[in-house]
Structure 1
Amino acid sequence: MATYHIETYGCTSNQGESREIERRLRDAGHRPADGPAGADVAILNTCTVVEKTERNMLRRAEELAEETADLIVTGCMALAQGEQFRDAGVDARVLHWEEVPSAVLNGECPTPASDTEPILDGEVGILPIARGCMSNCSYCITKHATGRIDSPPVEENVEKARALVHAGASEIRVTGQDTGVYGWDTGERKLPELLDRICSIDGEFRVRVGMANPGGVHGIREELAAVFADNEKLYNFIHLPVQSGSDDVLDEMRRQHRVGKFRETVETFDAALDEWTLSTDFIVGFPTETDADHELSMELLAEVRPEKVNVTRFSKRPNTDAAGMKGLGGTVKKERSKAMSELKREIVGEAYESMVGSTREVLVVEEGTGDSVKCRDGAYRQIIVREASERGVEPGDVLTVEVTGQNTMYAFGDPVETEPAGRSEPPAAR
């Protein structure tokens, strides 16, 4: 778990983005620090409205870079003029605000609250299905907090999901340190059964499966892909963090998979689903990563072309084995991170560009910034509908939208109908 310090400048839109960043960090088990000096990571959400503001942002970024070990710069100036921070020599990662929570995770597993109880946050029901994992990754500090997998019975989790649906959840997010190994402590691989049972609950809702390490999913990949194909309530989305395209690096990381298993799992889902979203993570600059290892990661990213990619620069965490390794220089890590992030934006941008002009059925999941709402199609791609209040659109509605544009990380859509479609049918990818 990490501690964070966040500072926000500018308009109410920036304030809303910072609140969303904090919500996602808290959901993953992170906690605010008393100030930047005591934080594992500082986050500067910037404004760029006038030249004086730009100078203030640069000065504050320089100050924060001196006060904390890790600085992330996001917000308007980061997106529009990110090169200014690099030109000024600020030691910071410049990221789109939606990338910030994943970057803070540093490649580690999320850490739900210790009681693993479900939470209803607006239309979203968060369902931690277990605590702990079966991995022993050399860079991860989370395992010290969570221990080995502890899986409640399937029926217990189904009842929690049912309670969320009855409380009004239109989207259930199945979470855990590693959802793919749910049930391993009882000698069974129970994720496919659990998802099938949750989808059989009466009601109109969608289900998103959280992070599942490739090592755990590989052994159930065919059964799991079949469950996705058979249940329209399941978003066709899976998060498989590969972390590196090099088997040598994966071995040093002590990951429970190798690149071949990751590829085989992706191929299985490709064969089972007409349209789906692959999400994955890469850690760049691991201490033993060579130039050749980095190129293997770049080649894997270009080959599988995931539509959601989290790129994280390696940083040492206390009490982990990787903390004792001789690290790579900051310049090397920055260059590799920049190259991979540029390729990622190209791939993700192409995916969203291909959606423009299509008509899709979406679920309105939550409010966005300003007068907008965030929607998800059947493959869990994010589509923003603006002027929501004027259009009578609110979370929980099911809409038919035409995709009118994209902004690399998400798409924009306009309702085809003048009134929301309501909750008559769960949305499906087309």
Structure 2
Amino acid sequence: MATYHIETYGCTSNQGESRQIEQALREGGHYPAPSLDEADVAILNTCTVVEKTERNMLSRAKELEGETTDLIVTGCMALAQGDEFTNAGVDAQVLHWDEVPEAVLNGECPTVTPDTEPILDGVIGILPIARGCMSNCSYCITKFATGRVDSPSVEENVRKARALVHAGAKEIRITGQDTGVYGWDNGDRKLPELLDRICSEIDGEFRVRLGMANPGGIHGIHEELVDVFDRHEKLYNFIHLPVQSGSDDVLAEMRRQHRVEKFKEIVDTFNAELDYWTLSTDFIVGFPTETDADHEQSMELLAEVRPEKINVTRFSKRPGTDAANMKGLGGTLKKERSKAMSSLKMEVVAAAYESMIGTTQDVLVVQDGVGDSVKCRDGAYRQIIVQNASEYGLSPGDFCTLEVTSHQTVYAFGTPVSLN
């Protein structure tokens, strides 16, 4: 778990984005710090209306950089003039709003609410299916809070999912520290059965997104799992499979329960069975034992598997973990490696969204966006923005068909061609 400090400047849209960031952080088990100097990470949500505002944003970023361990800069100036922070010598991660929660997570498993009860937020239902995990990663503090995996029965989770749908959920997000090991504590991994039953036994028009599943937990059930994806349209063709490094040596030091080959076997299986799907993965850059050669192996793996969603996190020590006792790499080196991987990431993700232009996609409207826009998800959980949504009468919970017209690197824009 991490403590955070967030500052927001600018219009009400920025205020709304900050609320969404905080919501995601709280759902992941993070909490606001009592003060800036007690925060693990500071988040600066920027404005870029006039030149004076830009100077103020750069000045505030420099102040925050000196007062906290990690700084994340997001918002309008970060998106429009992200290089200004680098040119000013600010040591920060410059990220899109949607990327901030994953960056704060620092490669750790999410921490679900203590009672693992479902949450309904608008048309999005969040269903924690279990607490805890079966891993013992050397950098992760979450395990101290959650312990080993504790899995309710499939019947109980199906009942909770049904209640969310009856309450108005159109998208159910399956969450947990590691969804791939659901049921392991009871002698059998039950994730494929759970997903199959939610999609087949619950009436209604809704979609299901599977949350983070570590490769070590998924490997061994990946063939059964991809069959469930292939059979159910309600299930987004999306899997979050955090590899963390392309180096087996680093993975061993991290005490991850997989090696690169296992990760690639899972990806190859999904590639063989699904025509259109999204691979989401995470990389930790600058782990204390990471050499130049290790980093290059991570870069090569990213270029080879070409995930459509990639979270790049600079390693940050968590108190009480074994990795915190390792001699760390210098901040400049971590920054250089992060910048190189983030640049490659943007190329890979942009190519994926570029390939969507001209296609038609059936989507679910999941959230209001900035101004008169809505955020939609297609069958592979890729984000498509519809502008001037009121002209089409679109609101969260609607299903429609879009033509993808353009993209902005990490999301696409679309125009409705039919409303369902």
Which band: TM-score by shorter chain?
Answer: over 0.9
> 1:424 aligns to what?
none
Structure 2 residue 279 is matched with structure 1 residue 278: yes
Q: Distance in 1 between matches of 2:89 and 2:349?
A: 28
Deviations 1:143-181 (A, max 9, x none): 000000000011000000010011111110000000000
> 2:408 aligns to what?
407
Q: Distance in 2 between matches of 1:208 and 1:170?
A: 11
Q: Distance in 1 between matches of 2:416 and 2:89?
A: 45
- Other structure's SS at 1:362 match: strand
Structure 2 residue 348 is matched with structure 1 residue 377: no
Question: CA shift at 1:281, angstroms?
Answer: 0.2
After superposition, residues 166-177 of structure 1 pair within 5 angstroms as 166-177=166-177
> 2:24 aligns to what?
24
Question: CA shift at 1:33, angstroms?
Answer: 1.5
**Alignment-mate amino acid for residue 307 of structure 2:** P
Question: CA shift at 1:374, angstroms?
Answer: 0.8
Return the TM-score normalized by structure 2: 0.98
Q: Distance in 2 between matches of 1:337 and 1:60?
A: 22
Question: CA shift at 1:391, angstroms?
Answer: 1.5
Q: Distance in 1 between matches of 2:81 and 2:90?
A: 13
> 2:79 aligns to what?
79
- Check conservation: 2:61, 2:90, Cα contact below 8 A: yes
After superposition, residues 350-369 of structure 1 pair within 5 angstroms as 350-369=351-370
Q: Distance in 1 between matches of 2:244 and 2:3?
A: 23
> 2:96 aligns to what?
96
Structure 2 residue 126 is matched with structure 1 residue 137: no
Q: Distance in 1 between matches of 2:413 and 2:35?
A: 37
Deviates more, 1:233-242 or 1:17-26: 17-26
- Check conservation: 2:385, 2:412, Cα contact below 8 A: yes
- Other structure's SS at 1:67 match: coil
- Other structure's SS at 2:402 match: strand
After superposition, residues 143-158 of structure 1 pair within 5 angstroms as 143-158=143-158
> 1:425 aligns to what?
none
> 1:206 aligns to what?
207
Question: CA shift at 1:89, angstroms?
Answer: 2.1
> 2:262 aligns to what?
261
Deviations 1:266-315 (A, max 9, x none): 01111111110000000010000000000000000000000000000001
**Alignment-mate amino acid for residue 389 of structure 1:** S
After superposition, residues 213-228 of structure 1 pair within 5 angstroms as 213-228=214-229
Runs of 4+ in 1 over 4 A off after TM superposition: none
After superposition, residues 2-21 of structure 1 pair within 5 angstroms as 2-21=2-21
Structure 2 residue 44 is matched with structure 1 residue 44: yes
Deviates more, 1:35-44 or 1:320-329: 35-44
Q: Distance in 1 between matches of 2:234 and 2:145?
A: 33
Q: Distance in 1 between matches of 2:168 and 2:157?
A: 17
Identity of aligned residues (%): 80
- Check conservation: 2:212, 2:242, Cα contact below 8 A: yes
Instruction: Specify every segment of 5 or more residues in structure 1 that has no aligned partner in the other structure, as ranges.
Output: 422-430
Deviations 1:219-257 (A, max 9, x none): 101000101111111000000000000000000000000
> 2:54 aligns to what?
54
**Alignment-mate amino acid for residue 5 of structure 2:** H
Q: Distance in 2 between matches of 1:159 and 1:414?
A: 36
Q: Distance in 2 between matches of 1:66 and 1:300?
A: 34
- Other structure's SS at 2:125 match: strand
> 1:427 aligns to what?
none
Structure 2 residue 290 is matched with structure 1 residue 289: yes
Q: Distance in 2 between matches of 1:115 and 1:60?
A: 39
> 2:106 aligns to what?
106
Question: CA shift at 1:87, angstroms?
Answer: 2.3
Deviates more, 1:211-220 or 1:60-69: 60-69
Question: CA shift at 1:86, angstroms?
Answer: 2.0
> 1:162 aligns to what?
162
Q: Distance in 1 between matches of 2:370 and 2:177?
A: 29
Question: CA shift at 1:399, angstroms?
Answer: 0.5
After superposition, residues 158-197 of structure 1 pair within 5 angstroms as 158-197=158-197
Question: CA shift at 1:51, angstroms?
Answer: 1.1
Structure 2 residue 210 is matched with structure 1 residue 229: no
After superposition, residues 312-331 of structure 1 pair within 5 angstroms as 312-331=313-332
> 1:386 aligns to what?
387
Q: Distance in 2 between matches of 1:83 and 1:409?
A: 17
Q: Distance in 2 between matches of 1:32 and 1:175?
A: 21
- Check conservation: 2:46, 2:75, Cα contact below 8 A: yes
- Check conservation: 2:91, 2:335, Cα contact below 8 A: no
> 1:428 aligns to what?
none
Question: CA shift at 1:37, angstroms?
Answer: 1.4
Q: Distance in 2 between matches of 1:5 and 1:332?
A: 25
Q: Distance in 2 between matches of 1:369 and 1:25?
A: 20
- Other structure's SS at 2:208 match: strand
Deviates more, 1:383-392 or 1:250-259: 383-392
Question: CA shift at 1:25, angstroms?
Answer: 0.6
- Other structure's SS at 2:66 match: helix
Deviates more, 1:254-263 or 1:381-390: 381-390
> 1:250 aligns to what?
251
Return the TM-score normalized by structure 1: 0.96
Question: CA shift at 1:34, angstroms?
Answer: 2.5
Q: Distance in 2 between matches of 1:64 and 1:36?
A: 9
**Alignment-mate amino acid for residue 50 of structure 2:** V
Instruction: Specify every segment of 5 or more residues in structure 2 that has no aligned partner in the other structure, as ranges.
Output: none
